[in-house]
Amino acid sequence: METKEDLIKNTIQELLRIAKMYSRIEELPIPVDENLEVTTREAHTIQAVGESEQMSVTHVASHFGITKSAASQMVAKLSKRGFLLKKQAVHSNKEFELFLTPLGWQAFRAHEQSHGRDMADLVDRLSAFSLSQIATLSVLLEALGSVMEQRLLRQSKE
């Protein structure tokens, strides 16, 4: 019989395995057209900008739990490739608002098409769980996220 500690360790191990697979998936290409691809990571940034009414580099960093520098690099890369447009924010001289270009919207739709099946499958599978099971999963993921955020904060201060 597994102890509670064994079950917790096995759960953490499974989450780490999933995190590693997710990291690999983030690098997979998504075809935008016959001559152009974006990585899944790039497509997720494009999606976040497309779904938001006001997105900035700071919001990208916060949304993905990455540093502002990493978010800035991604935004610069996507802007240079023609997917994003940066405009000076009306409320701040230091901030830029992000918008999708027509090519960005094309990548947005390609990403939706590419991952739509996966999302539908995941929603279908999770729908079989009770509300309390889903709530427990949500709390578990929040706890994991909190521990990871603390570790990253400690690391950035060292």
pLDDT in tens, 86-129: 998 887 777 889 999 999 999 999 999 988 888 889 999 999 99
In this structure, is residue 134 part of a structural domain? no
Q: In what order do the strands lie in the sheet with 84-88?
A: 55-56, 96-100, 84-88
Burial of 80 (0-12, 13-18, 19+ CB in 10 A): exposed
For every residue of 9-28, DSSP letters joined together read HHHHHHHHHHHHHHHHHHTS
pLDDT tens digits, 4-40: 999 999 988 998 999 999 999 888 999 999 999 999 9
Band of pLDDT at residue 133, cut at 50, 70 and 90 = very high
- Unique residue bearing structure tokens 């994003």: 84
* C-alpha span between 30 and 73 (Å, rounded): 20
Total of domains in the chain: 1
CATH at residue 60: 1.10.10.10
* C-alpha span between 27 and 41 (Å, rounded): 6
In this structure, is residue 49 part of a structural domain? yes
Domain extent for 56: 42-127
Write down the pLDDT at residue 114. 86
Give this prediction's pTM: 0.79
In this structure, is residue 19 part of a structural domain? no
In this structure, is residue 23 part of a structural domain? no
